[in-house]
Structure 1
Amino acid sequence: MTVSIDSAPPRTGTGRLVIVLGGLSAVSPFAIDMYAPGFPEIVTSLATSRTAVQLSLTACLVGLAVGQIVLGPVSDAMGRRRLLLAGSGMFTVFSLVCALAPSIAVFDVARLLQGIAGSAGIVIGRAVISDRSTGPHAARQLTTLSVIGSTAPVLAPVVGGAILGVGSWRLVFVALAVTGLLLSTAIWAWVPESLPVERRRTGGLRAALDAMGGLLRRREMVGYLFVMGCGLAALFAYISGSPFVFQGIYGLSPIGYSLVFATNAVGTVAAGTIFGWLAGRVRLNSLLVIGVAITVASLITLATLLAIGVSTFPTTWACLFGFTFGFGILLPASIAIILAVGNEAPGAASGLLGGAQFVLGAAAAPLPGVLGNTTAMSTAAVVLGCVLLSAVALITLARPWQGHGEPTVRPVHGDSVGAAGSPQLPL
C-alpha cells in the first residue's frame, strides 16, 4: 500500500494544529540565538574570533530569509504539507551537523543550511493559517504564532543558558535536533494539507515568483514590510550585542544574563496578549502605530541616558524592556496587516514577510561590534537606528491612516462589525 505524503492525516482540531504550527514558528527563532550564552565558549572551542561567531548568527538569518522568500511562493504551487515535512526533517539533520562541527567554517555553513530548512515551518505555518481563516479570527491565530515567534529569540538564551549549565554548547544543537524530530512526527500526525490542488497556482515557480513581484509593486506592502523588517533588525541587533554588554560591561553571569532575557520576554508576551485581546476591537493600524511609538521612545530614552553618562544596568535594562514590550505589539500587528494586504497569494506574502524579517535582521546582527568593541552605546545606536527607520517607513510608505489590511466591515443591525462579527472601534 502506498501512502502519499500529501494525503491528509485524521482531521485535526484547530487548537492542536495551532500548537504544532506554534512549535514550528518557535524552533527556528530558538535556533537563532539559543547558543548565544555560549559565544565565549565557542570562540575557544573552535579557535576562532568573536566576529566569526557572530557571523554564524548572520548565516542562520540569511538562511531563514532566503528560505522563506523561495519556499513561501513555492508552497502556493506545490501545497503546504510536503514542504513542512521536508523542512523539519532537514532542520534535524543540519542541527546535528552543527553539534558535530569541527571548525568554524563547517559550523557557519551548517548554520546557513539549518536556517533555510527551518524557514519552512515559519513561512508555511503562516500560509496554513491564511488558507483556513480570515478576518479577526485569522489575526488572533497569527498573533499566537507571532507572539511565539517573537518571544522565542528572547527566551532562547535562557534555555541555552540552562543547557550550558549541564553541558557544552554542542548540547544546545543536539536539543534542537531532537526538537526537529519531534516536530516532524507532529506534522505527519496532525497537520493536514490546507491548500487543495484546485486552489494552487499554476505555472510553477515562475508564476509564484511573479505573484511576489506583483505584491512588491504595491507601495503599502513595501511600507509594512519595512516597518516589520526594521523592527526585527532592531531585535537581532539587541540580541547580538547584549551578551557582550550585559556580561562584559555590567558583569552578569550567563545565568544572570538569561534572567534579563526572561524578564524582557515577559514584556513581549504581555504585549502580544494585549494585542490578541484588542485585535478585532481596535484597528490593526492603530495598534501598529502604538507599537512603533513605544519602541522609538524606549530607545531614544536609552541613547540619551548613555550619551549624558548614565550607563547603569537598571536603566539599560528598563529601556530595553520597554523596547521588547513595544516590539510585542509591532510584530503581530504588522504580520496580520501584511498577510491581509497580500491575501490573494498567502504563500508569496508570507515569503516576503519572512524575507524582510531576516534579510534586515542578518544585516543588523553584526553591527553592534562592527567597530571592534560591542558597547552599550554601540548596541543602543544600532537598535535606535533600526526603530527610527521603522517609524519612517510607517509614515512615508505604509501610511496607516489609509487603513490598509483592515478586516472587511459590514453593517449588521445598525452596528459596525468586522468580518467575523467582532466590533471595530476606530482609534
Structure 2
Amino acid sequence: MEAHPLHAAPPRRGGAVILLLALLTAITPLATDMLLPGFPDMADDLHASDSSVQLALTAYLLGMLIGQLLLGPVSDSTGRRRLLIWGSALFAVFSLLCAFATNAELLDAARVLQGVSGSAGMVLARAVVGDWYRGAEAAKRFSILSVIFAVAPIIAPVLGGLIIRASSWRALFVVLAVLSVILMAAVATGLPESLPPGQRHKGGVGPAFKAMKELLGQRPFLGYVLTFSFANIALFAYISGSSFVFQDIYDLSETEYSLSFALTAIGVLIGGAMVANLAAKAGLNRLLTLGVGVGVIASAAHAVVAVSAGNTLATSLIFMFLCMFAMGLTIPSVMTIGQEIGRRSGGAASALIGAGQCLFGGIAAPVVGAFGTDSDKPMATLMIIGFAAALLCLVAIARPWQRQGELTPGTDETAPAAAPVH
C-alpha cells in the first residue's frame, strides 16, 4: 500500500513487525491475567483481603493510565522506538520488584511503576500502526493486535496456574521480567522508527500535550473514547471478578477456571477476526455499534438471571462468551477510528484511548471485590452498567451514523470533522 502522506512507509516485512507490536501489547493482559489464578494464594501469603489483592490490578492500571498520558504525547515529539526500548527495560526491573514484595502495600507500589513502564507497549504500538496504515488496512492490523490481546488472556491464566503449581505466585513476575527483556531485544534489533524526525511535533513536548486537549474538544473523538472507556468497565469487572466467581462459587480448580476463562476469551478472537474481514465492506461504525449492542443484551441477560433464577456455570459461560465477543468487535473498531481522527497526533490519540480504558477499568476492578465475592451479582451489575453507558455515549456523543474516522470508499479522505466541543 502507499505510504501515509504524513508518515513513513510501512516496512516490507510488515507481518513480523506487526507481530512484535502485538506481543508488546500483550504484556498488559499477561501482567493482569496471569495473576488471576494466584489471587487467593496472594491474599493468604500477604495476609490481605480479597479486595486488597484486587487492588494490585487497579495499581497496575493506574500506572498504565499515567504512563500512557505521558509517553503517548512525548512520542509525538521524540519518536516511538527509543521509548519502547526503555519501557521494556524498566518493565523488567519493576516486575522483579513485584516478585520480592513482602506485603500488599509494597506490591501495589511496585505494580504502579510496572504499569507506567508497561504502558509503552500498548500506547506506542497503537501509535505505530496509526503512523503506517489507514482505513481498512489499519483495521486489519489493529485486529491482529486485538487477536493477540485475546490469545494472551487465553494463555495467561493457564500459564499462571502452571507456574503457581510449580513454584508460587512470585514466579509469575519473574517470568514477566524475562519476557520483557526478550521483547526489548526484539525492538532494538527489528523495529524501525515509524515517526521520522521531520514529521514530529516541533517545539518540544508542549505542543504534543496541547494536542490531547484539542482532540478531546472534538465531539466524535470524545464520544469514541468514552464508549471504549465504559465498555472496559464490563471487561475489567469480568477480569477481576471471574476468578472468584468460577473458583469460589462454581468450585472450579485453578486449571478448570483457566480453561473456562480461555473459552470465553475466544469470543474476543472471533470478534476481532470479523472486524479484520468486514471493516471495508460493513464499516467500522456499524461493527462497533453491533459490538456494543451485543454487549448490552448479553450483560443484561446475565444480570437478570443472576437476580432471579440464579446463574449456572453453563449460563455464565454463554453470557460471558457473548460479552467478550462484543469486546472483540469494539476494541479494534475504536482503535482504528480513534487513531484515524487523531492521525496528526497519533501518540496523543493513542494515549487518550488507552487512558480511558485504564481509568474506568481500574475503578471497576476493586469494586467487584468490595461488594463481595460470594455471588456473581456485583460482577453482573457492573458489566451491564458499563455496556449500557457505552451505548449511551456511542449514540449521544459519537453518533456512529456520521461515520467519523472512516475513509470514504475510493478516496483517501475521512468524514468531515465535527466542530469542537464547547
Normalising by the smaller structure, the TM-score range is over 0.9
Q: Which whole-Å deviations, capped at 9, do the CAs of 1:228-255 have from their partners, x for residues lacking one? A: 1111221111111111111111111111
Q: Which whole-Å deviations, capped at 9, do the CAs of 1:35-71 have from their partners, x for residues lacking one? A: 1111111111112221211111100011111111111
Residues 67, 119 of structure 2: 8 Å contact kept: yes
The root-mean-square deviation of aligned C-alpha atoms, in Å, is 1.7
2:43 corresponds in structure 1 to 43
Aligned partners of 1:233, 1:155: CA distance in 2, in Å? Answer: 22
Residues 155, 265 of structure 1: 8 Å contact kept: no
Residues 143, 336 of structure 1: 8 Å contact kept: no
Inter-CA distance 148–110: structure 2 relative to 1 (3 Å threshold): same
1:22-421 equivalence runs, <5 A = 22-410=22-410
Aligned partners of 2:408, 2:204: CA distance in 1, in Å? Answer: 31
Aligned partners of 1:100, 1:37: CA distance in 2, in Å? Answer: 19
Percentage of identical aligned residues: 42
Aligned partners of 2:44, 2:367: CA distance in 1, in Å? Answer: 22
Equivalent AA in structure 1 for residue 314 of structure 2: P
Q: Which whole-Å deviations, capped at 9, do the CAs of 1:387-413 have from their partners, x for residues lacking one? A: 1111110110010001100113237xx
Equivalent AA in structure 1 for residue 39 of structure 2: F
Question: What is the CA distance between 1:12 and its match in structure 2?
Answer: 6.5
Equivalent AA in structure 1 for residue 93 of structure 2: V
Structure 1: gaps of 5 or more residues: 1-10, 412-416, 420-427
Aligned partners of 1:370, 1:49: CA distance in 2, in Å? Answer: 10
Aligned partners of 1:12, 1:81: CA distance in 2, in Å? Answer: 17
Question: What is the CA distance between 1:354 and its match in structure 2?
Answer: 0.7
Secondary structure of the structure 1 residue equivalent to 2:70:
helix
Q: Which whole-Å deviations, capped at 9, do the CAs of 1:260-295 have from their partners, x for residues lacking one? A: 111112221122112111121211000001101111
Inter-CA distance 266–372: structure 2 relative to 1 (3 Å threshold): closer
Residues 150, 266 of structure 2: 8 Å contact kept: no
Q: Which whole-Å deviations, capped at 9, do the CAs of 1:129-158 have from their partners, x for residues lacking one? A: 111122211221111112322443454222
Q: Which whole-Å deviations, capped at 9, do the CAs of 1:156-184 have from their partners, x for residues lacking one? A: 22221122221100111111011000000
Q: Which whole-Å deviations, capped at 9, do the CAs of 1:6-32 have from their partners, x for residues lacking one? A: xxxxx7611111111111000122102
Question: What is the CA distance between 1:373 and its match in structure 2?
Answer: 4.0
Q: Which whole-Å deviations, capped at 9, do the CAs of 1:173-205 have from their partners, x for residues lacking one? A: 111011000000000110011111111101222
Question: What is the CA distance between 1:374 and its match in structure 2?
Answer: 4.9
Aligned partners of 2:406, 2:370: CA distance in 1, in Å? Answer: 40
Aligned partners of 2:413, 2:274: CA distance in 1, in Å? Answer: 19
Give me the TM-score of the superposition, normalised by structure 1: 0.92
Question: What is the CA distance between 1:106 and its match in structure 2?
Answer: 1.4
Range 71-80 or range 197-206, more displaced: 197-206
Residues 72, 347 of structure 2: 8 Å contact kept: yes
Q: Which whole-Å deviations, capped at 9, do the CAs of 1:347-401 have from their partners, x for residues lacking one? A: 1100101101111110111111223445211110011111111111011001000
Secondary structure of the structure 2 residue equivalent to 1:366:
helix
Range 36-45 or range 132-141, more displaced: 132-141
1:3 corresponds in structure 2 to none
Equivalent AA in structure 2 for residue 330 of structure 1: T
Question: What is the CA distance between 1:103 and its match in structure 2?
Answer: 1.9
In the alignment of these two chains, the number of paired residues is 405
Equivalent AA in structure 2 for residue 142 of structure 1: F
Aligned partners of 2:390, 2:49: CA distance in 1, in Å? Answer: 32
Q: Where has structure 1 moved over 6 Å in runs of 4 or more? A: none
